[in-house]
Chain A
Amino acid sequence: MAKRIEVKDLDIYYDKFLAVQNVSLTIEPRSVTAFIGPSGCGKSTFLRSLNRMHELVPHARVEGTVVMDDQDLYGPNVDPVSVRRQVGMVFQRPNPFPTMSIHENVAAGLRLNNARISKGDLDELVERSLRAANLWNEVKDRLNKPGSGLSGGQQQRLCIARAIAVQPDVLLMDEPCSALDPISTQAIEDLINDLKADYTIVIVTHNMQQAARVSDTTGFFNLQGVGQPGQLVEIDDTTKIFSTPANQATEDYISGRFG
């Protein structure tokens, strides 16, 4: 569980358009790494390149290497499906499967892959995942009700439970709280703190306070200008980024003097 990711000289292209340029960084295991930056600067693109989800866009490709515990994710003969088995993802908008109950949603990662697992083990896994997502007490009496009947915050925690049920090594979160109210956000942030013990977590957020609250390391992405590729300006300890950043652009962005 929990792997180190080393990214070296990563360029991400959509067809001919260079979206993200020259990113090199190391993501430590059992830590929370946050990425902040203005819209359109390639945070989400970079995040999605960590489990090869950006390839779902036709003609998207990368140059450079992403190494996860000595394995290059973009090496020849690497199956994107196996990469995603180890690197899970939570999205901006909660997206439980509407045809499935709460129980089936959490079990979806196994059920959709036809994993052979006894009913008792499956029930146990569902309970463990829901407990880990701080949702068990709220839904234990209605596991067979549809997942889309839950509130937005509960749905997002259901999606997190679904993501951790397949026991990935790394959990990517793409603005997981941007559609949620402050109380649900609080619940998710507490959850991130708990999950940190077992997983490597990478989170993209527009909320700088959130980055400061939950992360150990913070990276700042920025654009040089319209049509220019996004770049990683600076990455460092969160306390350092938010107190004495090395780069002027970072300081401007964090203190609200941006643009």
Chain B
Amino acid sequence: MPTSTPERELDLESPIGGPPLVHGTLPRWAPQFTLVTAIAAGFALFAVGTAVGLAAIAAVLLYGLAIYSWSRPIEGARKAKDRVVTAIVASTFLLALLPLVSVILTVVSRGVARIDPAFFTFSMQGVVSEGGGAYHAIMGTLIVTGLAALISVPIGMLTAIYLVEYGKGKLARAITFFVDVMTGIPSIVAGLFAFALFALILGPGVRLGIMGAIALSVLMIPVVVRSTEEMLKLVPNDLREAAYALAVPKWRIIVKVVLPTALAGIATGVTLAVARIIGETAPLLITLGATSGTNFNPFDGRMATLPVFSYYEYVNPGVPPEPSLQRAWTAALVLIIIVMVLNLVARLISRLFAPKTRS
């Protein structure tokens, strides 16, 4: 640690004074100017053009070094560190954004070609090469995911209510532990569980939509429990006490005070849990199989889903492979769009239900 210079020390003798309140500051354009210079220098160092990554790394390092050595003598050590940390935070943010942007760009550029009415209205029944669509897979995904949500949301919410409002002893601790364990279950294991369960009941080799829904709900329940639990814990105890003091029975307090207060957060949590499972492939591969026709009945026969559809179109392309590959990318794009819409819906819900403080 650098020690402070003598003239900066506190002067207790004189009535006024002490360290000056005014410090030097860099001009407002300093960060932008340094950044542009650093980027230019980085690309000059690795001018080849192929080494964009190296140039970017060099630019970041140069920027940090330059802004620190510029700011240190003028603004002092604290401000200089602040500028460096700001640079680090910003660059790690960009780094984290990189894969997301890259995935979206790739999927959109390759999948946008088949975003046409046929894709949303036709199944793959009798389609060999060109044409066809993912109507059956979109419907399958919506039905299976909807069923999974229908199973998971009540179980998960009731579990969370038990844990927050009632559970105190060993049982609650055991449930919390097993929910944590469930969170870590690999999705393929969930699929195998559903497959084994139905093999025991209906015999081996059976494939049903409901099996997929059960496999997905194994993955979804712990997410719903966790998010609901956190939201219920956020409800201030004051509100529960206020309701108790009005002679309201406990179950009514939970139903009419606690749940409405936490509803926005719970809805967001559920939507995010749906978004988490809607793209699962492995468990659906085992439990649903694949089919080229439309099947609306989850209790009878195989069903197609978007992730599995995308997978099969990619690994088993038709004779000219291009139409299949295009369908695979478009299916992925549709899946991303569904998840995005779900996220928007979650935001809308949380805005609609959030407790209002102003008019």
Contact call A163/B359, Cβ cutoff below 8 A: no
Contact call A91/B238, Cβ cutoff below 8 A: yes
Q: Quick one: CB contact mask for B141-185 with A, threshold 8 Å, 1 for yes?
A: 000000000000000000000000000100000000000000000
The total of Cβ contacts below 8 Å across the A-B interface reads 88
A243 on the interface (CB 8 Å rule)? no
Most buried by B among A58, A88, A96, A99: A99
A88 and B246 in contact, given A112-B253, A112-B257, A149-B358 (Cβ under 8 angstroms): yes
Q: Quick one: CB contact mask for B243-256 with A, threshold 8 Å, 1 for yes?
A: 11111110011001
Closest CB in chain A relative to B18 CB, distance in Å: 35
CB interface residues, B 221-279, toward A, < 8 Å: 236, 238-249, 252-253, 256-257, 260-261, 263
| A108: chain B residues within 8 A (beta carbon) | 243, 246
Among candidates A93, A99, A113, A142, residue contacting B261 with C-beta atoms closer than 8 Å? A99
Chain B residue at minimum C-beta to C-beta distance from A96: B242
Contact call A149/B253, Cβ cutoff below 8 A: no
CA distance in complex: A196, B39 (Å) = 76
| A163: chain B residues within 8 A (beta carbon) | 245-246
Contact call B355/A51, Cβ cutoff below 8 A: no
CA distance in complex: A162, B249 (Å) = 17
A98 on the interface (CB 8 Å rule)? yes
Contact call A89/B261, Cβ cutoff below 8 A: no
| A95: chain B residues within 8 A (beta carbon) | 236, 238-239, 241-242
B32 on the interface (CB 8 Å rule)? no
Chain B residue at minimum C-beta to C-beta distance from A166: B246
| A142: chain B residues within 8 A (beta carbon) | 359
B357 on the interface (CB 8 Å rule)? yes
Closest CB in chain A relative to B288 CB, distance in Å: 40
A53 and B244 in contact, given A99-B355, A146-B355 (Cβ under 8 angstroms): yes
| B244: chain A residues within 8 A (beta carbon) | 53, 56, 84
Chain A residue at minimum C-beta to C-beta distance from B169: A58
| A162: chain B residues within 8 A (beta carbon) | 242, 246
Contact call A109/B358, Cβ cutoff below 8 A: no
Most buried by A among B238, B249, B358: B238
| A96: chain B residues within 8 A (beta carbon) | 242
Among candidates B241, B243, B263, B355, residue contacting A112 with C-beta atoms closer than 8 Å? B243
Closest CB in chain A relative to B264 CB, distance in Å: 10
Chain A residue at minimum C-beta to C-beta distance from B359: A145
A82 on the interface (CB 8 Å rule)? yes
A81 on the interface (CB 8 Å rule)? yes
Closest CB in chain A relative to B21 CB, distance in Å: 33
Closest CB in chain B relative to A133 CB, distance in Å: 15
Among candidates B242, B256, B257, residue contacting A159 with C-beta atoms closer than 8 Å? B242
| B260: chain A residues within 8 A (beta carbon) | 99
Contact call B261/A97, Cβ cutoff below 8 A: yes
| A81: chain B residues within 8 A (beta carbon) | 247-249
CA distance in complex: A172, B263 (Å) = 31
| B257: chain A residues within 8 A (beta carbon) | 97, 99, 112
A149 and B246 in contact, given A91-B241, A95-B239 (Cβ under 8 angstroms): no
| A98: chain B residues within 8 A (beta carbon) | 239, 261, 355-357
A113 and B241 in contact, given A98-B355, A145-B359, A148-B355 (Cβ under 8 angstroms): no
A148 and B252 in contact, given A51-B245, A56-B241, A82-B247 (Cβ under 8 angstroms): no
Write 25 A-B pairs (CB below 8 A) sorted by A numbering: A53-B244, A58-B168, A82-B247, A84-B247, A85-B247, A91-B238, A95-B242, A97-B239, A97-B261, A98-B356, A99-B263, A108-B243, A109-B247, A112-B256, A113-B247, A142-B359, A146-B358, A148-B355, A148-B357, A149-B356, A149-B357, A162-B242, A163-B246, A166-B246, A166-B247
Of all A-B residue pairs in the complex, the 5 with the closest CB atoms, nearest first, are A98-B355, A89-B245, A85-B247, A95-B238, A84-B247
